[in-house]
């Protein structure tokens, strides 16, 4: 059984280590894969996107732990869900929005059964005391229904959607990755063949890959998640083009 | 068998990779859990605290490797210890101070047997040449006594302790975590019900969790390690309050 | 079976998570060891050095994935190689230069067989769509020859070599590690007994270890990879001495 971890904890404080120790004590044979602990602190939107990049690639039966949890200790619920036969535990703060939207079938439960939490639950560290033990028990065979009752109203983030215009699409940058690539909310299949503008500046036609332009040149292409992306070959588009999350992007089919 | 790694090596140079390769060659089935490689360089005190946050949560039989080792190559000893049936290997520089104090039973040995080191031992990389192979052999079943002779004088860090005053406790900030939370050396059970001051500035009563105050407001609470902690809800207390390690914290039971 | 990952992806975007998910789906029992995802973006030279620090320490049968790939989507080939019975997959951009030079026997193939790639191959993410699935299949028993045809002209980096002079060696700094240690291309066995200069400034005799000089003092020694290294005890040589990659280093055997 394989359990993945995505948090905004960093690693140096040992909080992630504490979660791993709890998992190892309950499920000694579990393979634990770090996804990241470098999500920007409390950035639920960013974590939701990151989760969507690996969740469905993992095989059925995988258990995913996601703890970006600025509301820890408040009334926000803790969730355990099964989406297309993969399990995820996470705070009910919208972090599951994208994977819920993509899943063919979904069952979402509240984590309520104290039997699967640590004996003492700190109001500030549910990663260690609720999510890690719950994930380990689920990986070890616990049935989702034994975790707590089903719900049908998990919190959803409202995400900006690209809109159709007379001659193309209008959307925005929704993520800047480590390389400075600007990832937009315009679906790739709607962008193909278009000319792209970023904040009113022409980037050019949608190309196939970085190498289709000269080094240092901006390029629009369909990224690895099938959405329109703006990059600078061998460079950092966010810095070079002075654009970040929310920057306006439009596509026009040449007339 | 499960082996954890805590170092200040970063990952990019491949030093951690070298340790993992040595472990894998000796104990091919070992599950290797990264705790962190981002301990501030040579910060023994910080590493000692980090270690204490996960050490006892891991199941008995786990093997923990800790290499924050500014004295590598000097006369400092290399240690292998069993604390409450968990094993740890580390330089003898005080890094075990907290876990030694918390353990019910402890046996500490010097790593002296060349049979369990790499054939050539670099004077600057004992992580690869002494600690990793020793940990792998211990995980694979080697008896602690075969590593080297027992000692009873491991190096201990002197750690600031909170002191009782007429109306409460006086202590200090001993750690700032990734979120900017200020973790103090005042035990939680002695702080409950108190009013807290940080550097003479009133923070307020000890609360249950972040959500008990408004966003952006400072809050004192009992942290996940059962010590008094000062946070800013949705913010960074270290930055907002201009405080760090060594800042004075006091608690007063209202008269 | 054990698979290691070295990339310049960072972790926060979930690209590494995507690679791990692909591997887990093909080889569910694979142990996945992170080496690093913090290689400086597109720094092939740095990655080649990092790879050489762990590659041969891992046991035979290990599968290593290296994706630092600024040429992704261009005509550059994708390689799978067996070097001394360890397997590595990587772009054909020189990243294997050092391990190829060190290997006793090597077979290098181009990854060409679409059966072992993801069904759709993104032109910008071969880590997920080509390298990860290929590595997982190889770890699961696929024969290297079934990946694609052998080649004998993998791209090699030209690396600066130290040269012999009348009274010693002249070389340069080729890596600065996390601690600010300056690692040179002068072989340790040729430096022993020498007096070392860095950018014309005398560092002193080659010593055994950091502790042979006072705190804060520069010291030359033979590093853990058997090359000449310049450090500052308890400090950061790169900062203190104002030197980085390319800085001139010379050794003189005292007359």
Q: What is the pLDDT of residues B106-126, one digit of tens each?
A: 999 999 999 999 999 999 999
Q: What is the rounded distance in angstroms from the CA atom of residue B127 to the CA atom of residue B134?
A: 10
Q: Is C163 on the interface with A (CB under 8 A)?
A: no
For residues B239-247, give the mean pLDDT. Answer: 97
Q: Is C224 on the interface with B (CB under 8 A)?
A: yes
Strand partners for C205: C195
Q: Is B40 on the interface with C (CB under 8 A)?
A: no
List Cβ neighbours of B3 (8 Å cut-off, separation of 6 or more).
B23, B27, B30, B31, B32, B33, B62, B63, B64, B65, B135, B136, B139
pLDDT tens over chain C, length 255 residues: 999 999 999 999 999 999 999 999 999 999 999 999 999 999 999 999 999 999 999 999 999 999 999 988 888 999 999 999 999 999 999 999 999 999 999 999 999 999 999 999 999 999 999 999 999 999 999 999 999 999 999 999 999 999 999 999 999 999 999 999 999 999 999 999 999 999 999 999 999 999 899 999 999 999 999 999 999 999 999 999 999 999 999 999 987
List Cβ neighbours of B69 (8 Å cut-off, separation of 6 or more).
B91, B93, B126, B127
- The subunits that touch chain C, with at least 3 C-beta pairs less than 8 Å apart, are A, B
Q: What is the rounded distance in angstroms from the CA atom of residue B28 to the CA atom of residue B23?
A: 7
Looking at CA atoms only, how far is residue C174 from chain B in angstroms? 12
If you write DSSP's letter for every residue of A169-209 in order, what string do you get? EEEEEEEE-TT--EEEEEEHHHHTT-EEEETTEEEEEEESS
Reference B70, options B99, B98, B90, B97; nearest CA is B90
Per the CB < 8 A criterion, the answer to whether C196 and C250 are in contact is yes
Q: How many residues are given for chain C? A: 255
Q: Which of A8, A22, A24 is the best mutation test for B, with the most CBs of B within 10 A?
A: A24
Cβ contacts of B16 on chain C, cutoff 8 Å: 35-36
Tell me, what's the pLDDT at A247?
A: 98
- Pairing, β C78-83 against β C106-110: antiparallel
Interface touch B179/A18, C-beta < 8 Å: no
Q: Using 50, 70 and 90 to split pLDDT, how confident is the model at B75? A: confident
The number of beta carbons lying within 10 Å of the beta carbon of residue A230 is 27
Write out residues in chain A with pLDDT < 50, as ranges.
none
Alpha helix positions (H), chain B: 15-26, 44-54, 97-102, 126, 132-139, 188-191, 237-241
Contacts made by residues C111-115, CB under 8 angstroms, sequence distance 24+: C111/C77, C111/C78, C111/C79, C111/C80, C111/C147, C111/C148, C112/C147, C112/C148, C112/C149, C113/C146, C113/C147, C113/C148
Q: Which of C10, C21, C91 is the best mutation test for A, with the most CBs of A within 10 A?
A: C21
Model pLDDT for residues A35-45, shown as the tens digit of each residue:
999 999 999 99
- Pairing, β A201-207 against β A195-198: antiparallel
Q: What is the rounded distance in angstroms from the CA atom of residue A164 to the CA atom of residue A162?
A: 7
Cβ contacts of C18 on chain A, cutoff 8 Å: 53-54, 57
Alpha helix positions (H), C67-165: 97-102, 126, 132-139
If you write DSSP's letter for every residue of B99-152 in order, what string do you get? HHHH-SSEEEEE---GGGS-SS--TT-HIIIIIHHHHHHHHTT--GGGTS-EES
């Amino acid at each position: 059984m394989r359990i993945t971890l995505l948090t905004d904890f960093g690693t140096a404080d040992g909080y992630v280590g504490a979660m791993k120790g709890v998992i190892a004590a309950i499920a000694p044979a579990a393979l634990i894969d770090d996804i990241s602990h470098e999500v920007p602190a409390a950035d639920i939107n960013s974590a939701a996107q990151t989760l969507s990049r690996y969740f469905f690639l993992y095989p059925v039966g995988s258990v995913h732990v996601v703890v970006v949890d600025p509301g820890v200790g408040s009334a926000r619920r803790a969730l355990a869900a099964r989406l297309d036969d993969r399990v995820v535990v996470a705070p009910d703060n919208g972090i599951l929005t994208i994977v819920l939207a993509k899943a063919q079938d979904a069952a979402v439960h509240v984590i309520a059964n104290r039997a699967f939490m640590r004996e003492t639950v700190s109001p500030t560290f549910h990663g260690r005391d609720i999510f890690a033990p719950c994930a380990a028990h689920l990986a070890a065979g616990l049935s989702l229904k034994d975790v707590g009752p089903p719900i049908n109203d998990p919190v959803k983030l409202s995400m900006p959607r690209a809109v159709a215009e007379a001659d193309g699409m209008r959307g925005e940058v929704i993520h800047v990755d480590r390389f400075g690539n600007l990832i937009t909310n315009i679906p790739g299949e709607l962008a193909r063949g278009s000319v792209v503008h970023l904040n009113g500046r022409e980037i050019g036609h949608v190309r196939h890959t970085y190498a289709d332009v000269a080094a240092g040149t901006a390029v629009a292409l369909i990224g690895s998640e099938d959405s329109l992306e703006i990059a600078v070959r061998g460079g950092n588009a966010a810095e070079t083009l002075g654009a970040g999350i929310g920057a306006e992007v439009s596509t026009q089919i040449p007339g």
